[in-house]
Amino acid sequence: GDFANEVDTLVIGSGPGGYVAAIRAAQLGQKVTIVEKGTLGGVCLNVGCIPSKALISAGHRYHNAKHSEDMGVTAEGVSINFDKVQEWKGSVVKKLTGGVEGLLKGNKVEIVQGEAYFASENSVRIMDEKSSQTYNFKNCIIATGSSPIELPSFKYTERVINSTGALALKEVPKKMVVIGGGYIGIELTGAYSNMGTEVVVLEGGKQILPGFEKQMSKLVEKRLKKNGVAFHTEALAKGVEETENGVKVTAEVKGKEEVFEADYVLVTVGRKPNTEELGLEQIGVEMTERGLIKTDKQCRTNVSNIYAIGDIIEGPALAHKASYEGKIAAEAIAGEKSEIDYLAIPAVVFSDPELATVGYSEQEAKDAGYDIVAAKFPFAANGRALSLNDTDGFMKLITRKEDGLVIGAQIAGPNASDMIAELGLAIETGMTAEDIALTIHAHPSLGEITMEAAEVAIGTPIHIV
Ligand code: FAD
């Protein structure tokens, strides 16, 4: 219409950053509108965290059904109906996106479908196919997220796919080349190799999963190799040729040119912030060289009523970081003193075994000048891990030598994604290894590994010598 709409807080983007920010702002009494050009829930719910974990679970079910002979369980005629897998995955996504819609409405947040573009420091134009309208706001939270990077020599097609394409495949590929051994590439490699795909991973660097300790990434590599995955590090993907029903990928592997044939090539070489098509230059919002929006400890940009959260600002591009920042920004707008504290953001890879870290790694702690104790406890010494027949892995607890303060943890092992929460809490609340060691953990549980690692830190472990 012709008249501008007036709101207190306008949120652009409804991923885990935006929808959480909108709900918190509404809880704090603001009149809130959220704009989404795609589907509620953003990347995370629609084409990221959730559907990838669903495919990973399906892969586990299939793989375990076929490979539990050690435990005396054999199954005949195990098969995958991939249409059904996709249908089930879709139903999980739909429940969650529907849930987000219900939560937004329940909090009286107005949902507007369309693409937002800044007209001024206090207004946006929202466009959809049919119409365009203006919204004036007191404050705005930008949460437009990120998109897969497209390499010039790997333009996306039906067979040259990004993570979104990989999650939407209609068949389990016989062969797939994965370019990029980051967590997204490795998680999808795991999912498909568990479902029977022969995967070749081409990684440019010296190690897959850069950012994780080599001891951890090696465990993942070993397990994937057992599944028939081939790894090539220092491999530079150069180009792709599409054949009648597949692809031929050319790569320079340690200086030597090689060709890999497959049904699909999945390119997961990083993501770029969605900050280019918002009109940010016009209103003078400062950006970094990488196109990230610069923010302060309250997620405020240099334009004082405009905030930015999630994948478009510095820091790890993770859903829980986006949500955390969303709450901070909404609270800052309401005049609260909330500030970002990145001390304990967990990072998880849903690989086999799972990897999870929080706080300092051993090396980071040393680099930061801490005198530390690095206490390790293996999953193989835990009764629950043995009874699950899943004993690859370890926990490493990093504590400050002078007082035992927990400052970091690394876990490689089954359920590392859940176990890391206890260590995040320990760091956030300033616990020492002794506090954890004195906490009674249920037996038999993987949680006991945390207690025992803490006992190693203070020199009193029972189950290892
Ligand atoms: P997004 O979730 O990207 O949402 C941004 C939204 O803004 C989108 O819906 C977009 O349509 C909308 N938008 C953009 N521009 C406009 C505009 N101009 N107007 C209106 N709307 C707009 N993270 C984890 O923590 N754990 C995981 O296990 C995990 N797995 C992942 C797996 C995959 C395959 C991928 C790709 C990512 C994964 N991530 C995971 C990362 C996670 O998805 C992101 O960190 C998270 O979604 C970022 O949230 P966000 O709110 O910043 O933005």
Q: Residue 1 above 80 pLDDT?
A: no
Q: Residue 385 above 80 pLDDT?
A: yes
144 is in an annotated binding site: yes
Q: What is the CA radius of gyration of the chain?
A: 24
Amino acid identity of 167? Answer: L
Average pLDDT over residues 286-315: 97
Tens digit of each residue's pLDDT (9 = 90 or more) over 138-169:
999 999 999 999 999 999 999 999 999 999 99
Give the model's confidence band at 2: pLDDT under 50 very low, under 70 low, under 90 confident, else very high. Answer: low
Q: Which residues are catalytic?
A: 443
Average pLDDT over residues 337-356: 96
* Closest of 428, 414, 11, 348 to residue 186, by C-alpha: 348
183 is in an annotated binding site: yes
Tens digit of each residue's pLDDT (9 = 90 or more) over 239-254:
999 999 999 999 999 9
Ligand 1 atom with minimal separation from the 53 CA? 28
Tens digit of each residue's pLDDT (9 = 90 or more) over 204-220:
999 999 999 999 999 99
Report the separation in Å between the CA atom of 146 and the middle of ligand 1, taken as the mean of its atom positions: 6
Distance CA 452, CA 441 (A): 10
In Å, the largest CA–CA distance within the chain is 76
With both helix axes pointing from N to C terminus, report the angle between 416-428 and 447-458 in degrees, rounded to the nearest 10.
50
Q: Which pTM value belongs to this model?
A: 0.97
Q: Residue 24 above 90 pLDDT?
A: yes
Give the model's confidence band at 343: pLDDT under 50 very low, under 70 low, under 90 confident, else very high. Answer: confident
Give the model's confidence band at 136: pLDDT under 50 very low, under 70 low, under 90 confident, else very high. Answer: very high
Ligand 1: list residues with CB < 6 Å: 12-18, 35-38, 42-44, 48-49, 52, 115-116, 143-146, 163, 184, 274, 278, 310-311, 317-320, 322, 350
Which amino acid residue places its CA nearest to atom 14 of ligand 1?
Answer: 144
Report the separation in Å between the CA atom of 221 and the middle of ligand 1, taken as the mean of its atom positions: 27
pLDDT over 90 percentage in the chain: 98
Which amino acid residue places its CA nearest to atom 33 of ligand 1?
Answer: 48
Q: Between these two residues, 268 and 465, which has the higher pLDDT value?
A: 268
* Closest of 108, 98, 86 to residue 170, by C-alpha: 86
Tens digit of each residue's pLDDT (9 = 90 or more) over 360-369:
999 999 999 9
Q: Residue 279 above 70 pLDDT?
A: yes
Contacts for 20 with CB less than 8 Å, ≥ 6 apart: 322, 323, 326, 327
Asked whether this complex has an ipTM greater than 0.95, the answer is yes
Give the model's confidence band at 3: pLDDT under 50 very low, under 70 low, under 90 confident, else very high. Answer: confident
447 is in an annotated binding site: no
Tens digit of each residue's pLDDT (9 = 90 or more) over 26-76:
999 999 999 999 999 999 999 999 999 999 999 999 999 999 999 999 999
